Structure 1
Amino acid sequence: MKRIFKFIENNFFVIVILFVAITLLYPNIFSWVLGKVHGINIMNLLLSIILFGMGTTLKFENFTEVFKKPKEIGVGLIAQYMIMPLLALTLAYIFKLDTALTAGLILVGTVPGGTASDVITFLAKGDLALSVSLTAISTVISPLLTPLITVLLIGNHIHFNPIEMFISIVQIVLIPIILGLLVNYKFPDFTENLKDYLPAVSSIVICLIIGGVLGANINSIYTASWIILVVIILQYFIGVALGFVVGYLSGMKMKQITTVAIELGFQNSGLSTSLAKTHFPNYPIATVPGALYSVWQNLAGSILAYLFRKYLNKEE
């Protein structure tokens, strides 16, 4: 059984492509992901499972890292919640995206870093402890910052309730992480065993979300695919590049610079997709940027991890 889960973990991108191919052939096969069971949003439930799993891998010292590395943590968080949202807004303006795609792109920029950044940082021989702490802290403060920044950037164009978005993020993100953290604290042996399975579970959940969103918006994607794909690719690479610039200018070592760059490139795209579906119901295509970003960041991230390890951190 462990071999199967390890295979899924090690071949995540191939599995993503497989899910995308299946969705293109059978658009409705994953439509149930966007539905509800007993009034509970299935996509939100799936995301909560991922975040609970993330919580079981964390320890309280991940949150005290800010006192050990205040500069690195501070720079990373400021970059996360300033550079990525403003970059998304700028690209939406340059490419004249419509309201729905702009909203989805903004959410990709305002959500916290994705958990996959930790894996890519490890492969790139970056500062893994810094990566885990940045992901954890940016995720915990996201209920406040994601709705606030989103309403500041697009509140004049799309009407939504930031308080309700705050509550959604608390339910989807904060509560599962806290529960996972407590389970890890109380039952460390149990959570240690879970580590063999959680990455694969998270991978499958992300694939299901991608399949559900792509299938529901397949016609719209065919119409605007080249534009949004170009924007997504630019958002990722410019984010990584700006992470390098910020890290370098703040005087970090290469391991830390690499980590901040990866953290900026990897967003919790599943969360952005869920928030778009929940809070922008009149703009269904707003879910598309998050789904496409998830596919792209894992492809590009795997390649960058190899390049970073070979050319930037090889002496480490």
Structure 2
Amino acid sequence: MRIDVLLPAALAFIMFSVGLALHAADFRQVFQAPRALLIGLCGQLVLVPLAALAVVLVFGLPPTLGIGLMILAACPGGASSGFLTHLARGDAALSLTLTVISSLAALGTFPLLVKLVLAWLGDAAFDTWAPAGGGVGQLTELPVGRLISSVLVVTTLPILTGMAIRHKAPRFTARSEPLIARMATLFFAAIVVATFVSHQDTIIANLLSIGPATLALNLLVMGGGYALVMRAGGARRDAVAVAMECGLQNAGLAIFVAIVLLRQPELAVAPVVYALTMNFGALGLVFVAWRLSGAGPALARRADSTASVKLP
């Protein structure tokens, strides 16, 4: 079976494991107290692009790498943010809500942001590179079906299935959740390894040139998202969710846009490298959250009465 089939299946299983630890009340709470949600959307739609622009300027990236990084910054949050938020004992319901809303919002914001980036960082040069049939105009042809299916099939449906099983069969959930959680953690590790293996030539060839910039962007947006929530008086678990959502971008969409829509594979270099380096910042936050909470991973324990455990 091909890797492009195995990876979504593995991610769907991971989201199912998160759903086993969620209640409908967790999502109601997100909308009843929407401050963290609004901050998260602001972070995803404003903070991330501005931070990427700052990184491009500070590191003096050439046009191809700079445009690629900005395309990535215009993408919505990645599906794995919900799993890593839960692993870090953050508010998984908030993270998943942010992923869904930002993915739908991207249908309108993504083409606009990318066109602005190309106009500012090198639209004229890009028009020279792009072959016939490709180019900026193709941005109106965003893969709507791909975005919606990734949100529904890979994220929403597995989450709802896990929540339904938890509600209908709580004893089964209590017995099986630790094993499923460990399997989900192994699947996530496999996804990270598969990401490297499938793009190893690109990553190895460009790690030194773009790696520091991608890592700096990841740490900057995660730290900024966390700080925004804490400065607004939010809970630490909300800050973890927003940090993860800002730091984990939908790199697959950026790669698709660069190669398929814009027909310029060089623009995919930054998203490919970021797809690997973003996991280091995310796993670092998981480790810090474990140390602050004085406990191990949330997914390694038996299912609790609530998915969100407050950190001290």
Asked if these proteins are the same fold (TM beyond 0.5), I'd say yes
1:285 matched residue in structure 2: 266
Structure 1 residue 235 displacement after superposition: 0.3
C-alpha distance 132-287 of structure 1, shift in aligned 2 (>3 A): same
Give the match for residue 173 of structure 1.
150
CA distance in 1, matches of 2:192, 2:258: 16
Match of residue 214, structure 1, among 196, 200, 206: 200
- Shift in alpha-carbon separation, 1:289–1:168, aligned structure 2, 3 A: farther
**Residue 107 of structure 1, CA deviation:** 2.5
Aligned partners of 2:161, 2:14: CA distance in 1, in Å? Answer: 11
Residue 52 (structure 2) aligns with = 88
Residue 141 of structure 2 corresponds to: 164
In structure 2, distance between residues paired with 1:304 and 1:96: 28
Post-superposition CA distance 1:31-61 (Å, at most 9, x none): x98xxxxxxxx85x66765676677666995
Counterpart Cα distance in 1 of 2:184 and 2:114: 30
Q: Against the structure 1 CA distance between its residues 126 and 55, is the aligned structure 2 distance closer, same or farther, given a 3 Å change threshold? A: closer
Alpha-carbon displacement from aligned partner over 1:185-235 (angstroms, at most 9, x marks no partner): 99998xx899676665565455444433333x36xx53x532311101110
Q: Spell out, residue by residue over 1:68-106, the C-alpha distance to the aligned partner (whole angstroms, 9 max, x if none).
A: 231111110111111111211221122222222122211
Structure-2 separation of matches of 1:107 and 1:90: 14
- Structure 1 residue 236: Cα displacement: 0.9
For 1:117, the equivalent position in structure 2 comes to: 81
The separation in 1 between residues aligned to 2:277 and 2:47, in whole angstroms, is 19
1:255 to 227, 230, 237: 237
1:100 aligns with 2:64: yes
Note if contact 1:118-1:132 (Cα within 8 Å) is conserved in structure 2: yes
1:138 aligns to 2:102 (yes or no): yes
TM-score by length of 1: 0.68
Distance 1:66 1:154 in 2: 36
Map 1:1-316 to 2 at 5 A: 43=4, 49=9, 66-155=30-119, 157=123, 158=126, 159-160=135-136, 161-167=138-144, 169-170=146-147, 173-174=150-151, 176=153, 204=190, 207-215=193-201, 217=202, 222=205, 224-282=206-264, 284-311=265-292, 316=312
User: Counterpart of 1:252 in 2: which secondary structure?
Assistant: coil
> Contact conserved, 2:84 with 2:282, CA < 8 A, in 1?
yes
Using the alignment, how far apart are the partners of 1:53 and 1:149 within structure 2? 32
Specify the code of the residue in structure 1 equivalent to 2:87: L
CA contact (8 A) 1:63 1:136 kept: no
**1:226-267, Cα deviation, whole Å (9 max, x unpaired):** 231110111011111111221123221222122212221222
Q: 1:55 to 1:142 in 2, by over 3 A?
A: farther
Which stretch shifts more, 133-142 or 83-92?
133-142
Amino acid at match of 1:214: Q
Change over 3 Å in CA distance of 1:286–1:90 after alignment to 2? same
Distance in 2 of aligned mates of 1:182 and 1:304 = 26
Does structure 2 conserve the Cα–Cα contact (< 8 Å) formed by 1:72 and 1:256? yes
* Alignment-mate amino acid for residue 245 of structure 1: A
Deviation larger for 80-89 or 178-187? 178-187
- RMSD (CA atoms): 3.7
Cα distance in 2 for residues equivalent to 1:206 and 1:271: 17
Residues in 1 aligned to 2:163 and 2:289: alpha-carbon distance in whole angstroms: 34
Identity %: 23
SS of aligned partner of 1:113: coil
Distance 1:187 1:310 in 2: 31
> Please, which moves more after superposition, 178-187 or 112-121?
178-187
Q: State the AA in 1 paired with 2:96.
A: V
Going from structure 1 to structure 2, the CA distance change for 1:313 and 1:109 (only over 3 Å counts) comes to farther
